[in-house]
Amino acid sequence: MTGLSWEYEGYEPAAERLRESLCTLGNGYFATRGALPECAADGVHYPGTYVAGCYNRLTSEVAGRRVENEDLVNVPNWLPLRFRVDGGSWLTPDTATVLDHRAVLHLSTGLLERRTRYRVGGHGVLAVRQQRIVHMADPHLAALRTEFTAEGFSGALTVEAALDGGVSNAGVPRYRELDGHHLTHVHTGTAAPHTVWLRCRTRTSDIRVGMASRLTADAPALIQHDPPCARQLTRLDLAPDRSTTVDKIVALYTSRDPAISDPVYAAIDRVGRVPGFEALLASHRTAWDQMWRRAELDVPGESGSILRLHLFHVLQTLSPHTADLDVGVPARGLHGEAYRGHVFWDELFVLPYLNLHFPEVSRALLHYRHRRLERARTAAVDAGHKGAMYPWQSGSDGREETQRLHLNPRSGRWLPDHSRFQHHVGSAIAYNVWQYCEATGDTEFLHTKGAEMLLQIARFWANSARYDETLGRYRITGVVGPDEYHDAYPGAPEPGIDDNAYTNVTAAWVLTRTLELLDALPEPRHRELVERTELDYRELEQWEDVSRALHVPFHDGVISQFEGFGDLAELDWDGYRQRYGDIRRLDRILEAEGDTVNRYQASKQADVLMLGYLFSPSELQGLFQRLGLPLDEETWHRTVDYYLHRTSHGSTLSGLVHGWVLARARRAEAWKFCQEALQGDIADIQGGTTGEGIHLGAMAGTLDLVQRGLTGMETREGALWLDPVPLPELSSYGFAIRYHGHWGVRLGLERRHLEIAVPSSNRDPIDVRLPDRHVRLQPGETGRLFLPD
């Protein structure tokens, strides 16, 4: 592992799924897992390819019920390339003797390189070197170069390249009772002596997929059509210690793409016109160079290497090409089939980073939400509410995709899934709109699409709140909070808990910000919005009341996660750790015992403490003050301590949020949780889940931990606010951001010395505000500040 590459030595079948996820290559349009091209999908390998936004819906029989699921489709596999020495079997690391094996993911150039030496015959060795790219400049291209070298022998080598349309979604064991056969009408053909094509379509969404492959080798290829595969075979003569090269270049299009007439025609035309591998690699490297400059990150040591890997995978999933697509933030990237490729609330952890580097991508991701605003309004009406009720899980069209049943692999039982009651996802969308506009100064978006979303989300919260005469406050009932463990009260016949603190406080924030925005809108736009939404001024008065009087429960001097949380039983944490070791998925353990986590004061991940992640201490205190509730520093620290001892960290996001919050509340313990967030995917701390897809929110969140968490950065009121909290373990770092039209503003912290460099331009000066001073930096100017203890 270095800052520029990620390396694996040796072949370990048990580690292949994890390595395939972490060696995935993508460009924002599509991605391909880092499986070996000579290996088919089996219990060890899973060579999936996923196109952003390409979903399909199927119905399955599960536990005696018909269950409908929409999946991100595993499209035809472009990768297959196998080989054998005459008289021998096809070589794979599972069936042949491997003398050496090494895989290197070159982060700076987006290139996956593998070197393997196979024993062939009695004393011969076949050395295989491959270089693979998913092209970052042209999002429809991928290329694979394979060099074969005969060591100590001569002979003939047969190479077979293929396009395989016989794939299915089978990468997640707990989904295997669900129908995963999404492709139909698979056809293959020949376009030229060196080019084959494959076309198919998805079964219900009717998305047409076209793929073409051009093979270049030292000998002509024999083409075979064996539906659902198109194969190209070539026979190469190997001389001792001489290398021969086979290049495979592939183009991929779907009917969702603009400016094409037919996906297959577009793929054939593109693959026939592109240059060779070397030229493709050169333009690919240039595109990556440009992206790295915009996302510059300088953190020393092992932490810096991991952060660079995280940044690499964020950029592969959400690249500048994403700005041209109608897609959301897939929680597990384009790296596998976990969560069925759905869009959750993870953009809450992703967009704050993108806002300051690739704002055009953030804007496109918010457009995804705006295009589904009408669907969210329909969902609210169906639930008996006004406004917009966004789904907890979203896919192609914005309907609620949360499954009604989920499998507990520990007990083998299918259980009701009530996570669709996590209506706080609407607040996350509103927060992302606000943060994007503050970071970019994009008032056009704020006054149009942003205002429309904020208004309808605020309307939903105000309509969901019910006034309680006894409390003298408004309540929001029947929800599920970020914790996810607690989806009902013990013994209750209906799902949902009441007055989740995170839900209520963020709802109050949405209402407050929306009222501020409506006051600030230019009069003509204000009038348009009022007319279009039939906004009643009596409604605004209600919003004002609700935003000041939502109920936030307390118990024993701490904020309650929800009403009644403090009345639940205490869990024997030490006893469960002794019995089970890893208790991150405590909910599954308890259910397998015939118990339920709903009975206990136990959280899966940060819930109340999410408030300290979203809001600075001063903003959070201001929110509580507006609600007429006390929240001093002592109360917040007690709350942090309370939940710190009652959280199992069953999500990769939990370590991130706790590290962020503790950096300001209890600095000595912060690094432990920061380390857990950094190690989440590379060490697969959730027990085999990374092999099913990376955790994109946690990866992006670690980047934002450096960018905003440790610097205390806020973008508000037209200024860049900084309040650094240097951790002893991470006291030196640097990065560049794009802020209000300024490209490449560089911030660096070395011990307690802060440097801010603003590149030359014709833009306005940047106002930088620290707790003890205000600095105004002109373009071309560098500010050097000493930070007192």
Interval 312-328: pLDDT, tens? 999 999 999 999 999 99
Q: What pLDDT is attached to residue 664?
A: 84
Residues shown for the chain: 789
Contact 789, 752 (CB under 8 A): yes
Segment (H or E) for 141:
strand 141-151
Q: Return the percentage of the chain with pLDDT > 70, whole number.
A: 99
Rounded alpha-carbon distances, angstroms, from residue 653 to 540, 606, 657, 680: 35, 8, 6, 9
**Residue at 40: amino acid letter:** A
Q: What pLDDT is attached to residue 472?
A: 97
Question: Span 137-150, mean pLDDT?
Answer: 98
Q: What pLDDT is attached to residue 65?
A: 84
Question: Span 86-112, mean pLDDT?
Answer: 96
The number of angstroms, rounded, from the C-alpha of 113 to the middle of its chain's C-alpha atoms is 24
In eight-state DSSP terms, residue 136 is S
- Packing angle between helix 359-371 and helix 347-354, nearest 10 degrees? 140
Contact 165, 57 (CB under 8 A): no
Catalytic residue annotation: 484
DSSP characters over 546-590:
HHHHB---EETTEE-SSTTGGGSBPP-HHHHHHHHS--TTHHHHH
Residue 317 backbone dihedrals phi, psi, to 5 degrees: -85, -40
Structure tokens at 49: 């390819």
Q: What pLDDT is attached to residue 2?
A: 57
Q: Return the percentage of the chain with pLDDT > 90, whole number.
A: 91
**Would you say residue 425 has pLDDT above 70?**
yes
| pTM, rounded to two decimals | 0.97
**Apex 196 CA angle, 190 and 197, nearest 5:** 95
The sign of the CA dihedral 442, 448, 449, 453 is: positive
User: Whole-number mean pLDDT of the chain?
Assistant: 95
Rounded alpha-carbon distances, angstroms, from residue 564 to 310, 434, 470, 569: 39, 32, 16, 11
DSSP characters over 227-265:
TTEEEEEEEEEE-BT-EEEEEEEEEEEETTSSS-S-HHH
Cis-peptide into 227, omega within 30 deg: no
Burial class (CB in 10 A: 0-12, 13-18, 19+), 616: middle
Q: Which of 124-128, 418-422, 618-622, 730-734 has the lowest mean pLDDT?
A: 730-734
Query: Across 13-140, where does the E strand assignment appear?
Result: 25-26, 30-32, 49-62, 65-74, 81-85, 98-106, 111-120, 124-134
Distance CA 166, CA 171 (A): 14
For 407, how many CA atoms within 13 A lie in the half-sphere containing its CB? 14
The sign of the CA dihedral 763, 764, 769, 773 is: positive
- Tell which residue, 429, 427, 418, has the closest CA to residue 461: 427
The tens digit of pLDDT for each residue in 467-498 reads: 999 999 999 999 999 999 999 999 999 999 99
What's the distance, Cα to Cα, between the start and end of the chain in Å?
35
Residue 199 backbone dihedrals phi, psi, to 5 degrees: -135, 150
Which residues, at least 6 apart from 64, have a Cβ–Cβ distance to it below 8 Å? Answer: none
Rounded to the nearest 5 percent, the helix, strand and coil shares of the chain are 35, 30, 35
**Confidence label for 631 from pLDDT (cuts 50, 70 and 90):** very high
**Residue at 748: amino acid letter:** G
- Tell which residue, 168, 197, 171, 195, has the closest CA to residue 184: 168
Q: What pLDDT is attached to residue 3?
A: 60
**Would you say residue 1 has pLDDT above 60?**
no
The tens digit of pLDDT for each residue in 239-252 reads: 999 999 999 999 99
Question: Span 449-459, mean pLDDT?
Answer: 98
Structure tokens at 83: 């080989």
The tens digit of pLDDT for each residue in 551-570 reads: 999 999 999 999 999 999 99
Q: What pLDDT is attached to residue 583?
A: 92
**Confidence label for 360 from pLDDT (cuts 50, 70 and 90):** very high
Q: Which residue has the tokens 């259980």?
A: 415
The tens digit of pLDDT for each residue in 202-232 reads: 999 999 999 999 999 999 999 999 999 999 9
- Tell which residue, 308, 409, 331, has the closest CA to residue 682: 308
DSSP characters over 580-626:
HS--TTHHHHHHHTT--GGGBS-BSS-STTHHHHHS-HHHHHHHHHH
Furthest C-alpha separation in the chain = 90
For 587, how many CA atoms within 13 A lie in the half-sphere containing its CB? 20
Q: What pLDDT is attached to residue 168?
A: 98
Q: What pLDDT is attached to residue 788?
A: 78
- Tell which residue, 500, 613, 509, 615, has the closest CA to residue 564: 500
More confident residue, 687 or 563: 563
- Tell which residue, 192, 347, 203, has the closest CA to residue 269: 192
**Apex 296 CA angle, 298 and 352, nearest 5:** 105
**3-state per-residue secondary structure call for 341-367:** HCECCCHHHHHHHHCCCCHHHHHHHHH
Distance CA 732, CA 466 (A): 49
Contact 735, 297 (CB under 8 A): yes
Distance CA 53, CA 71 (A): 10
433-460: b (≥16 Cβ within 10 Å) or e = bbbbbbbbebeebbbebbbbbbbbbbbb
The tens digit of pLDDT for each residue in 34-52 reads: 999 999 999 999 999 999 9
Distance CA 149, CA 44 (A): 26
Q: What pLDDT is attached to residue 121?
A: 83
Residue 549 backbone dihedrals phi, psi, to 5 degrees: -140, 25
